[in-house]
Amino acid sequence: MRLLLGLVALLTLSGAAQAADPDALWKIVSQKCVPNEREYGQPAPCAVVDLDKGYVVLKDLVGDTQYLLMPTAKVTGIEDPAVLAPDAPNYFADAWAERHFTVTAAKRELPRDDISLAINSVYGRTQNQLHIHIDCVAPAVHDAIAKNIGALGDTWAPFPEKLAGHNYRALRLDEDGLDRVNAFQRIAEGIRGAREAMGKQTLVVVGATLPGGAPGFALLEGAADLAAGNRGSGEELQDHSCALAQQ
């Protein structure tokens, strides 16, 4: 009972704590989710703790369908050298595999085209623990990708139109899943200067249906430009109200 009450209190306070404490998410992972899984076999307040693969899934306080995937290790974010290490875990593949939490929360079957994964730049986040937002894609972004997916290639190029008022680069993956793709490496290796400025990058992965009906993905990359008012927050392409589930 004391454990349950403590977790309820944690969830009640975590919204304010996250706003004030950039390590709030890391404290939830390292002081609550992982110890509870090890000691009690229960991941609470996380939905999942996978000690073998080294990640947790936590329900975000914003929206009904938004979940966060985070490492069990201390990894600050997209700028952390650990994400580009040769043996780095494939956090985007893990996040895509855990999208069922968003689907269940939406209370209806969502096609892959409705699901997105996003990580913000250093300037577009409040927390210093790598976290991938799993949620529905914004309807306007969904429609823009559906309209342009056939024109995307396998190397980075400007997306044909602005998304949420910002310029993005895009490439297309002719893959059903992300197990064979390191999305962080795609940025570091494919965009000039990105490896030296990973902290400015934001990355969004959106499920897509390719011409002919095969499954695939659109990868969208943006970069923070503070002078232009762009904080590099790819999360802006998501819809935490999941309007697509209501259509």
Splitting the chain (247 residues) into consecutive groups of 10 residues, what average pLDDT does each group show? 41 50 98 98 98 98 98 98 96 98 97 98 98 98 98 97 98 97 97 97 98 97 96 98 95
pLDDT at position 247 is 83
Question: Does a structural domain hold residue 169?
Answer: yes
Domain hosting 232: range is 55-246
Let me know how long the chain is: 247
pTM surpassing 0.85?
yes
**242 to 81, 96, 128: CA distances (angstroms):** 33, 17, 26
Query: What is the number of domains present in the chain?
Result: 1
Question: Does a structural domain hold residue 147?
Answer: yes
Residue 219: φ, ψ to 5°: -100, 130
pLDDT at position 100 is 98
pLDDT at position 19 is 59
What confidence tens digit (pLDDT) does each residue in 9-63 have? Answer: 444 344 444 558 999 999 999 999 999 999 999 999 999 999 999 999 999 999 9
Measure the CA–CA gap between 70 and 72, rounded to whole angstroms.
7
Measure the CA–CA gap between 181 and 47, rounded to whole angstroms.
25
Question: Does a structural domain hold residue 201?
Answer: yes
pLDDT at position 53 is 98
Report, in angstroms and rounded to the nearest whole number, the Rg of the chain calculated over CA atoms: 18
Question: Does a structural domain hold residue 204?
Answer: yes
Q: Which residues pair with 65 in a beta bridge?
A: none
Domain CATH code at residue 86: 3.30.428.30
